[in-house]
Amino acid sequence: MKRVIISVIALAFAINGQAQRIKGSDTMLPLSQKEAESYMKTNSTFKVTVTGGGSGVGIAALIDNTTDLAQSSRKIKMDEKIKLQESGVTYKEVIAAYDALAVVVNPNNGVSQLTREQLEGIFIGKIKNWKEVGGDDAKIIVYSRETSSGTYEFFKEHVMNKKNFANDVLSMPATGAIIQSVSQTKGAIGYVGLAYLDKSVKAIKVSYDKGKNYVEPSMVNAKNKTYPVVRPLYYYYSTKVENKVKPYLDFVLSAEGQKIVESVGYVPLK
Amino acid sequence: MKKNLNLLSIVFLAFTMNAYAQESNNPIDTLAAYVQKMNTTVTNQSKLKISGYIQFQFQKADTLGINSFAGGNFDAKTDNRFNVRRGRVKFAYAGTLSNYVLQFDVTEKGLGIKDAYMNFTDSWLQAFTVTGGVFNKPFGYEIAYSSSQRESPERARFTQTLFPGERDLGAMLTFQMPKASPWNFFKIDAGLFAGNGTNPEFDKKKDFIGRVGIVKLTPNEKIKYSFGLSYYNGGVYQGSVNTYKIWEDNGVKTFFKTPIGTDTIGSFQKREYKGFDAQITIETVIGLTSLRGEYVMGIQPGQSKTSTSPTTDFTKVTAPATAPDTYIRNFKGGYIYFVQSISHTPITLVVKYDFYDPNTKINGNNIGLTTTGAKVSTAADLKYTTLGLGAILAVSNNVKITAYYDMVKNESSSNLTGFRKDLKDNVFTLRIQYKF
């Protein structure tokens, strides 16, 4: 009996020793899940758990030592760096993939393209009706992510020129909720990662040169860098767990891992 | 078969764990109801956060029984000591746009209350917050900067003298736009306080304390900078018949009784501080570099042997002669921190310089001199400077070890016994902190 108990404890330690916790960005959730599934298939003793919550949540977990890898769709902030230093966490950053951010509307919406300036106007609440941008006479209903989301911050910085979202913007807890809401609401508009695009919503072509050229959010356009709203996706980890997380990160960065990146709808590094 | 058995076990467990979720016969519904109930419980429980830290330390002073601002005076027969400098437990409940906070300090000296306050924020703009209870005075930067985070073991000498305990009893209005607002960088705190620290209020006068500040980041997030202006306007109850100020007579600067000194019982002596603070953090290849500074000047009603304002209730003194006389001093004080984290290591280095001149109108050999009809100035009028050097090792997110050496230099006066030269009162501190 004693031998059985010791074996169980040893097994638990062995499994726990390999178990990796990944937490953070909802944008990266499908990517990490798929990578983890494939990674675990390469070795039955490898165990990876993946949870979302937002980039800020993932980095907070890294500070609190409740995750091994923080997944983030934005770069780490100064305040987070200060907290990591105070917590004695020396960290490393790895870019795992790129993500193109797509602006989506209801499929029944006649508008198919918008300039960056028009998008800014819509999201700050200056443009309130679709007819102002060539659409039907209908109220624009704006969906956004919560403030803890890296996607929220990237969109605000790169599309809205750091201007503030309108007060009546509806904040959604996850990207899936934006897809669902936009697909069910005729006058809706929102933004999601390329990987989340499906037929229930329509992706808008975007112009960053004041209407001269409109580019569709697609894998091809993201890879050839003609689509302008592209951002890196990061993993952050403490150097104390480098040995533990390195095999997983090596897998993500390998040719096989990067194939998965593309298959899930993200842009591979090369 | 095994899988079916497992499924049955889970369903059975769900039923036994929630005897009331019987409305549906579908086991999945029952399980979902149970999970929902658990979720509600967890959400409610997560509103209550318990945190705290303990700072255990060993200190070695230059000589026996020194007076010190590095955690209190040493006992007469001691030049080294162990002590629990701080043992904090904080309970914070975060409701909707509101907070309830209780914080205790438990050390070998006993139990003390540090914070007991609530606050709530308006639901419309979410910019105005009212705070009431016992909490940090909104003055300067160092007062509100947690001792668990601060790189030096103690606050500057002027902070400890002018704001003993850092807290006060009062009500405060804060204006700060929500995080998502572009105006979030701007903050105003303004409050009325009893002015007696954490002691019960005994006089009718309220002290005004306020601070206006900004916090900004450069677009590349490599530099964070902030600054603030603070103002304190209050009064100290005059329990004695005598008030003294510095005047010069026949070349001697010392304390003379004010002309209205005989009829001041029950009046209030003006307590006025003006402060400026600034902080900057820069990310470089060698790590994070921070510079923090603060300068305060003003008028301080104290006593003969201390420039700290009295917090004792003198309103009920029946024999005014027993109440201490008031000594009015013009003061100035400040500090500057240089903090350097070493990139890719858990090590941070700190250099801190602080000064406190409790009486700017008198210095050098004038201190300790007196003349007919005057009161002598004392060690409470000496200027002090402290240079601190330290290294911090963050062992984990819970444990931090600090080694710190305070080099204290006092102003000397040939006319003041015991202070004719710089005292040997440097202190070395080795502190280990556990935070949760």
pLDDT of residue A45: 85
Identify the pLDDT of residue B266.
82
Q: Which of B410, B424, B333 is nearest to B378 (CA)?
A: B410
The residue whose two tokens read 């700017």 is B360
Of the partner residues B182, B348, B395, the one whose CB lies closest to the CB of residue A85 = B348
What integer pLDDT is reported at residue A11 of this predicted model?
45
CB proximity B225 to A under 8 Å: no
Which B residues in the span 22-41 are in contact with A, Cβ-Cβ below 8 Å? none
What mean pLDDT is reported for chain B?
Answer: 90
B283 touches chain A (CB under 8 A): yes
Q: Judge: domain A100-223, CATH 3.20.20.140.
A: no
Q: Which of A21, A17, A16 is nearest to A67 (CA)?
A: A21
Q: In the numeric block, which tokens belong to residue A47?
A: 């165990």
Residue pairs spanning A and B at CB distance below 8 A: 52
Kindly state the tokens that stand for B12.
Answer: 């059975």
Enumerate the domain spans of chain B: 1-46, 47-435
Identity at A82, one-letter amino acid code? I
Full 3-state SS string of B369-429: CCCCCCECCCHHHCCEEEEEEEEEEECCCCEEEEEEEEEEEECCCCCCCCCCCCCCCCEEE
Query: ipTM strictly over 0.85?
Result: no
Q: Strand B98-107 relative to strand B110-121: parallel, antiparallel, unpaired? A: antiparallel
- Which residue in A90, A156, A158 has the most chain B C-beta atoms within 10 A of its own C-beta, making it the best mutation to test that interface? A90
Record the tokens describing residue B403, joined without a space: 């080694």
Of A150 and B194, which is predicted with more confidence? B194
Domain B47-435 is found in CATH 2.40.160.10: yes
CA distance A234 to A24: 10
Whole-angstrom distance, CA of residue A124 vs CA of residue A119: 9
Q: Give the residue from B353, B426, B407, B415 showing the smallest Cα distance to B382.
A: B415
Give the CATH number of domain A2-98+233-264. Answer: 3.40.190.10
pLDDT score of B19: 47
* Model pLDDT, residue A3: 56
B43/B16: higher pLDDT: B43
With beta carbons under 8 A apart, name residues in chain B contacting A79.
224
Instruction: Work out the average pLDDT over B55-80.
Output: 96
Tell me whether residues A87 and B281 touch, CB distance under 8 A.
no
Q: Which of B383, B285, B390 is CA-nearest to residue B338?
A: B390
Check CB contact under 8 Å for A85 and B221. Answer: no
Selection from B285, B314, B283, B289 nearest residue B301 by Cα: B314
Give strand pairing partners of A115. Answer: A207
| Tens-digit pLDDT profile for residues B92-148 | 999 999 999 999 999 999 999 999 999 999 999 999 999 999 999 999 999 999 999
- The partner residue sitting opposite A88, judged by closest CB among B217, B288, B395, is B395
Q: Give Cα separations from B161 to A234, B306, B363, B384 (angstroms).
A: 48, 9, 19, 12
Buried b (16+ CB within 10 A) or exposed e, B171-189: ebebebbeebbeeeeebeb
Separation CA A202–CA A179 (nearest Å): 10
Q: Which two tokens stand for residue A49?
A: 């758990």
Q: What amino acid occupies position B410?
A: N
CB B231 within 8 A of CB B209: yes
B 103-162 residues with CB below 8 A of A?
149
Considering chain B, what percentage of its residues have pLDDT values greater than 70?
Answer: 92
**Chain B residues closer than 8 Å to A162 by CB:** 182
HEC per residue, chain B: CHHHHHHHHHHHHHHHHCCCCCCCCCHHHHHHHHHHHHHHHHHHHHCEEEEEEEEEEEEEECCCCCCCCCCCCCCCCCCEEEEEEEEEEEEEEEECCEEEEEEEEEECCEEEEEEEEEEEECCCCCCEEEEEEEEECCCCCCCCCCCCCCCCCCCCHHHHHHCCCCEEEEEEEEECCCCCCCCCCEEEEEEEECCCCCCCCCCCCCEEEEEEEEEEECCCCCEEEEEEEEEEEEEEECCCCCEEEEEEECCEEEEEECCCHHHCCCCEEEEEEEEEEEEEEEEECCEEEEEEEEEEEEEEEECCCCCCCCCCCCCCCCCHHHCCCEEEEEEEEEEEEEEEECCCCCEEEEEEEEEEECCCCCCHHHCCCCCCCCECCCHHHCCEEEEEEEEEEECCCCEEEEEEEEEEEECCCCCCCCCCCCCCCCEEEEEEEEEC
Alpha-carbon span A34 to A31, nearest angstrom: 5
How much of chain A exceeds pLDDT 90, in percent? 69
CA separation for the pair B287, B345 (Å, rounded) = 9
Q: Is B407 on the interface with A (CB under 8 A)?
A: no
Statement: residue B15 has pLDDT above 70: no
pLDDT recorded at residue B1: 44
Q: A120, A141, A117, A119: which is closest to A129 by C-alpha?
A: A141
pLDDT tens by residue, A68-120: 999 999 999 999 999 999 888 999 999 999 999 999 999 999 999 999 999 99
Q: How many angstroms separate the most distant Cα atoms in chain B?
A: 107
Q: Give the pLDDT band of residue B8 (cuts 50, 70, 90).
A: low
Using the 8-state DSSP alphabet, how is residue A217 labeled? Answer: -
Q: Tens digit of pLDDT for each residue in B120-134?
A: 999 999 999 999 999
By the 8 A CB rule, do B242 and B218 touch?
A: no
Q: Go through chain A and tell me how many residues it has.
A: 270
Are A103 and A190 spatial neighbours (Cβ–Cβ below 8 Å)? yes
Q: Which two tokens stand for residue A119?
A: 């998008």
Label residue B2 by pLDDT band (50, 70, 90). Answer: very low
Q: Confidence band (pLDDT; 50, 70, 90) for B263?
A: low
Reference B69, options B429, B430, B434, B368; nearest CA is: B429
- In 3-state terms, chain A is what percent helix, strand and coil (to 5)? 40, 25, 35
DSSP A1-37: -HHHHHHHHHHHHHHHHHEEEEEE-STTHHHHHHHHH
φ, ψ (nearest 5 deg) of residue A204: -95, 140
Name the token pair of B16: 């036994």
Partner A contacted by B286 (CB < 8 A): no
Of B215, B202, B201, B212, the closest CA to residue B171 belongs to B201
pLDDT band, very low/low/confident/very high, at B31 (cuts 50, 70, 90): confident
Q: What is the pLDDT of residue A148?
A: 77
Give contacts of A164 with chain B, Cβ < 8 Å: 180-182
Question: Whole-angstrom Cα distance, residue B192 to residue B169?
Answer: 9
Q: How many angstroms away from the CA of A75 is the closest CA of chain B?
A: 10
Instruction: Using an 8 Å CB-CB cutoff, list chain A residues near B394.
Output: 85-89
Structure tokens at B44: 């409610």
- Per-residue confidence band for B164, with pLDDT thresholds at 50, 70 and 90: very high
- pLDDT value for A13: 45
CA A47 to chain B, closest CA, distance in angstroms equals 21
Residue B93 has phi, psi (to 5 degrees) of -110, 120
Query: Residues of A numbered 147-166 whose beta carbons fall under 8 angstroms of chain B's beta carbons: which are they?
Result: 147, 162-165
Q: Which part of chain A has CATH 3.40.190.10?
A: 2-98+233-264, 100-223
Q: What phi and psi values does residue B127 have, to the nearest 5 degrees?
A: -120, -25
